[in-house]
Structure 1
Amino acid sequence: MTDQAEALRSELRARLPEQLPPRLGVAVSGGGDSVALMHLLHDIAQTEQVDLFIATIDHGLRPESKAEATAVAEQAALMGIPQETLLWQGWDGTGNLQDQARQARYRLLTDWAKLNRIPAIALGHTADDQAETILMRLGRAAGVSGLSGMPYARDHNGVTLLRPMLGITRQSLRNYLSRLGQGWIEDPSNHDQKFDRIKAREALAGLGALGISAQSLARVAENLAQAREALALYTQESARKCATVDGGDVCIHRNGFRLLPLEIQRRLVVGIIAWIAGQGYPPRGAAVDQAVTAVAEGQTLTLAGCLLISRRDKAWFCRELNAVATTTAAPQEVWDKRWVLSGPQTAGAEVRALGEAGLPQVPGWRALGKPRRALLSSPAIWSGENLLAAPLADYSNGWVAEFAPQRPEFYSSLLSH
C-alpha cells in the first residue's frame, strides 16, 4: 500500500466508530468519491473482520443510470462484496428534484439496511461536499448549527449514517483511484449550473486567493460543530431547570425561560418541536423567533405541527390536533410516530386522537390542570364512535400509553436534534 493510500485509510478510520459493526453498508454510486470509499473500506474491513455490503441507488433519471449501477455491481463482485441496486420510482416530475432525490436516497438506503440487519451505512461525502454545504447555508444566513455542516455520524430512520471522509478532498480521492488504476463515473449533473450546489462548487474554486479552500471550510465546520455541542449541553441543562414533561407535552415556566440567552431560548423551542412533532426540517428562523416571543409574552400559536398554549406563568407545547385528526393505528402499533397503546383485547378497537368528541366523555379531565386543547390531541382508544380509554387524560380503563421504543427521552433528545 502506498503512503498516500495509508494516509487516506488512517484519516478515514479515525472518523469511524472505534468498534465497527460486524455488518457495514456502503453507499456506492459509481462516482469517484464513493468508489474510493469502497476500496478504502475494503482494506479496513479485511483487517477488522467486518462484512461489507454495497447499495447503489438508481434514480432512473438518466438513460445511463442502469449501466452505471451494473458497473458498480461488477466492481463489487471483483472485490467479493455483495451489491444490490435500489430503484427510485417515486418522482412525479414536480417539486425540487435534488431534495426529493436526496430524501428518497436516504429512505431507500435505511430501509435496505434494516431489511439486511445492517446497523450503519458509510457515505462518500468529502471535504468539498462539506465546504459547498457551508457556502449554500451562508447564503441562507444560517447560524451555528447550520454552519457546522454535515455531521460525521447521525441516526436516520433507525440506522447510523457515517461520513468518514469529510476531511478528505475530492481530488485526493481521485489521485488515489488513478494510482490504483481504478476508473469511476462522472455524473453530468455535476456541471449543471441550475443546481445551487454546482454554483457553490464553482464559487469555492474562486476563493483560493483568500486562503479559503474545501479543507479550511471543513475545519471551520468542525470548530462550529464543537460550539454546537456546547450550546446543546447548555440547552439541556437549562431545560432541566425551566421545562417539565407531562405525558407527551412540554411545559415551560416562563419566568425561567425569560432569563435564558436568546440563542438558548431558540434552541429549546426547536428541540421541543422536534421531540413532539418528530425530527425533520426545523421551522425557519422567523417562525422560531415568533414562538420565542410568544412564550415570553404569553401568546398562543401553532408551529410545525405543534400548538403553543400560554396560561399564566406557564407555556405548554403540545401536538396540534389538526396534525393528528385523521391519524389512526391499531392497538400495539405506533400512533403519530411516538405512542403505543396497549390494553384489553377488544374487537374493532383503534387508536385515534381524543378530539372534541372524546373529551366530554372523560370524567374529571379538568382536575389534571392541563390546557383543554393539549388533551384533544392525545391518543385514545375508540370502538367506532364510543370512547373506550384515554390514558393520558387519566381515563385508562386498563389501557396504557407508552412511548415508541425508538422515541428518545426529552432531555437527552436536546443533545441530538
Structure 2
Amino acid sequence: MSVTPDTSLICDRITGFFLPAPPIALGVAVSGGSDSLGLLVVLAQWAAEGGPTIHAVTVDHGLRAEAASEAQEVARHCAELGVTHDTLTWGGWTGEGNLQHRAREARYDLMSDWAKSRGIDQVAVAHTADDQAETFLMRLARESGLDGLSAMAERKRHNGTVFCRPALGVRREDLRDILRSRGMSWIEDPSNANTDYDRVKAREALAVLEPLGITAPGLARTAVHLAEARNTLNWYAFIAARDLAHVQAADVVIDLRKFRILPDEICRRVLLEALKWVSGAQYGPRGKTLELLMESLRGGTDMTLHGCHVSVNTQEVRVSREFKAVEGLEIQAPCAWDDRWRLEGPWQEDMRIGALGTDGVLQCPAWRETGLPLRSLYASPAVWRGAELIAAPLAGLNNGWRAENLRPEEDFFAAFLSH
C-alpha cells in the first residue's frame, strides 16, 4: 500500500482502536463496498506487519442475483491480500416481517456462529463517521430522544461475539483514498442511489448542510457527546436499580415507594431495561409507549406491552412475562424454553414443555406457597404429556423436576452499563 501521511494517520487510527491489547485473531465483515474493503486492506496490512491474524467473512442474504458474484470478488481480493475468506448464506426470508431487520439479525447471527467456529472473539464492521452522521439525521427526523441520537457503540456483543467499529472516527472518503492508492475498485450498491431510502436522503442532506458548517465529522462528534450523557444517565439508573429492584423467578420487582421519588428519566430507564430483560428483546418499546406505561403506573393501572405484563399495587411494580407471548411456545426436548428457563427431570419422549397457563395452575394445589402471583405462573414453563400436567416446578408441582433460570439477576443489572 502506498502510504502517505494522511493514509498513515487513518491506518493508525483504525489499528489503534485495538490497542493496547490487540486480539490474536480478528474477524472482519466485508461486503465488497468501499467502507468494508478499505477496512480489510488496513487490517490486512496490519497483519503483515505483525498484527492479529485476519479472517474475512461475507454474508450472502440470497436477496439479489449479483450477491454471489460479489462474494466471489471479495474472495479474490482476500486471496491477493493473504487473508482467509468465507461466504455465509442466508435463506431464511419467508416474506413476513421487516426484511431489513430480519436480514440484519440473520447476518449477525451467522457471523457470530462463524466467529465461534474459528475461535474468534471479535469481528470488525466498517461503520464510519459518515454512517454515524447519517444515522443521527435519520433519527432526528423521527424526533428521537437522547438514546436514539447518541453515537453507535464502539463495541456490541451479539450471541457471545463482540462486534466492533474501529472506523467510526474515519470518513468514507478516507477509506476510498486507501483503495485508490492500491488501484483497487469496490462494489457500488445500487440502493445507495435510491432516494426512496432514508439513508440516501440523509446523505444528500449532509451535502446541502456542509456549507453551513454542519458536517459529518461534526455531527458524529455531537453524537459522541450525547452518548456520554446517555452513559451517565444509565450509570445513575444502574445505581437506582441496585437499590430498588430485584429479580424473583425471572420477574423484575421494583419497590414502588422508592420508584416514585426518582426523576422521570431514571424511572424510564429502569422500566426500559426491565422490559427488555424479561422479554428477551434486543430493543425496548418506543418512547411514547413507555410514557403511556409510566402514566398508567402513576394511576395505579396495570398494562401489557412488549411481551410483558406490568402490574402495580401499593408496594411494588412487577414486570413479568405476558402469557400470550408464550402461549403457543412448545419444545419437544428439555432445552431452553423462551430463552429464560431450562427444565431438568425424568424426560420421556412423549412429553413436551409449554406454558403452564390458567388450566395448569388449577392443577397445582401448592401454587400460593411459591409467593408468585398468578400472572407470573401462567407464563412459567411446565411439563406436559398431552393434556396431562406432569410438572410445574415454579408453581410448586415438582415430581422430580427443577427449573433453572437462564438469566441471572446480575445480567439484569449489567445491562444498564452495556450500551
Relative to the length of structure 2, the TM-score reads: 0.93
Matches within 5 A, 1:265-414: 265-330=267-332, 332-404=334-406, 409-414=411-416
CA spacing shift, 1:407–1:40, aligned 2, 3 Å? farther
Root mean square deviation, CA, Å: 2.2
Structure 1 gaps of 5+ residues are none
Is this contact kept in 1: 2:370–2:394, CA < 8 A? no
Q: How many residues align structurally? A: 417
Is this contact kept in 2: 1:254–1:296, CA < 8 A? no
Q: Distance in 1 between matches of 2:326 and 2:96?
A: 26
Q: Distance in 1 between matches of 2:418 and 2:396?
A: 31
Q: Distance in 2 between matches of 1:358 and 1:64?
A: 53
CA spacing shift, 1:330–1:50, aligned 2, 3 Å? farther
What letter matches 2:136 in structure 1? I
Report what 2:264 is aligned to: 262
Residue deviations 1:116-138, cap 9 Å, x none?
A: 33322110110000100010011
SS in structure 1 at match of 2:18: coil
Is this contact kept in 2: 1:339–1:403, CA < 8 A? yes
Cα deviation, residue 299, structure 1: 0.9
Residues 1:122 and 2:124 aligned together = yes
Is this contact kept in 2: 1:331–1:341, CA < 8 A? no
Q: Distance in 2 between matches of 1:395 and 1:93?
A: 42
Matches within 5 A, 1:82-231: 82-92=84-94, 96-231=98-233
Q: Distance in 1 between matches of 2:45 and 2:125?
A: 16
Residue deviations 1:5-30, cap 9 Å, x none?
A: 32112211233364333332111111
CA spacing shift, 1:336–1:218, aligned 2, 3 Å? same
Structure 2 gaps of 5+ residues are none
SS in structure 1 at match of 2:291: helix
What letter matches 1:14 in structure 2? G
What letter matches 1:278 in structure 2? G
What letter matches 1:78 in structure 2? E
CA spacing shift, 1:112–1:408, aligned 2, 3 Å? farther
What letter matches 1:279 in structure 2? A
Moved more, 303-312 or 348-357: 348-357
What letter matches 2:141 in structure 1? G
Cα deviation, residue 139, structure 1: 0.9
Cα deviation, residue 200, structure 1: 0.4
Cα deviation, residue 58, structure 1: 2.5
What letter matches 1:262 in structure 2? D
What letter matches 1:120 in structure 2? Q
Cα deviation, residue 297, structure 1: 2.4
Moved more, 148-157 or 45-54: 45-54
Report what 2:417 is aligned to: 415
Cα deviation, residue 47, structure 1: 4.0
What letter matches 1:203 in structure 2? A
Name the % identity. Answer: 43
Is this contact kept in 1: 2:369–2:396, CA < 8 A? no
Is this contact kept in 2: 1:207–1:213, CA < 8 A? yes
Cα deviation, residue 104, structure 1: 3.2
Residue deviations 1:185-240, cap 9 Å, x none?
A: 22221111010000000001111123211111111121111111111111111112
SS in structure 1 at match of 2:246: strand
Q: Distance in 1 between matches of 2:151 and 2:265?
A: 18
Q: Distance in 1 between matches of 2:63 and 2:384?
A: 45
SS in structure 1 at match of 2:119: coil
What letter matches 2:30 in structure 1? V
CA spacing shift, 1:40–1:211, aligned 2, 3 Å? same
Residue deviations 1:349-408, cap 9 Å, x none?
A: 332111112112222222333321111111122233332322222333332222337996
Relative to the length of structure 1, the TM-score reads: 0.93
